[in-house]
A and B are shown apart, each in its own frame.
Chain A
């Protein structure tokens, strides 16, 4: 079993829909990260959180430490949100342990 599990693996939505991506982890963590990867490989950090909730624009990330679960929400989705969204947890040495990613496609 992977240490970081994401669901769903693939997600297709219509423009304007509310989107949720889930992440569960099985290891102790110092922080959880949500990242975005566009075709071509570039990875951008969206959030780093260790408790509660963070919001940036249309993106919201939540974490429940007791349940070892985090969610990434996108409100009013747009085709430019199409990307792979990756959940990662901070290991004991500062390296990241990644999930396999959720491929999101938002149709106009």
Chain B
């Protein structure tokens, strides 16, 4: 257990439905990242937060995706009008920060596996 939790662990939904995932990072961590991983591939960056501010979004994050971190603690990732291509593992990670121009160790949650039928 890394200290980062995600909920739910699995989600099966029908195409066109909206889904929301939650990530609870390690409490003192300022940075929170969302990644997506499809079968046989490494994770791909989606977006990240520094406290409550969303600082960067990947071009993979279409307008159907939205992420929030309202109080700088937990974060949610919502996918609207899901498509079969959204089926993947959604991973959350947190870290203390970006110190001295270097990436810090990231602690990953167990992931939410989304299946869109």
- Which residues on A sit within 8 Å (CB–CB) of B105? 33, 45, 48
- Contact (A100, B31) CB under 8 Å given A30-B102, A41-B113, A95-B48: no
Count of inter-chain pairs, beta carbons less than 8 A? 75
The 0/1 profile, CB within 8 Å of A marked 1, for residues 27-44 of chain B is 000010101010011111
Are A43 and B98 touching (Cβ within 8 A)? Answer: no
Q: Within B101-116, which residues are at the interface with A (CB < 8 Å)?
A: 101-108, 110-111, 113
Instruction: A33-B105, A100-B41 given; name 8 further pairs at CB < 8 Å.
Output: A30-B102, A42-B2, A45-B107, A86-B42, A93-B48, A94-B97, A95-B33, A98-B42
Q: Can you list 25 pairs linking A and B with CB atoms under 8 Å apart?
A: A30-B102, A31-B103, A33-B106, A35-B108, A41-B110, A42-B110, A42-B111, A43-B43, A43-B91, A43-B108, A44-B2, A48-B105, A50-B102, A88-B42, A90-B103, A93-B48, A93-B98, A94-B104, A95-B45, A95-B56, A96-B33, A96-B103, A96-B106, A97-B45, A98-B42
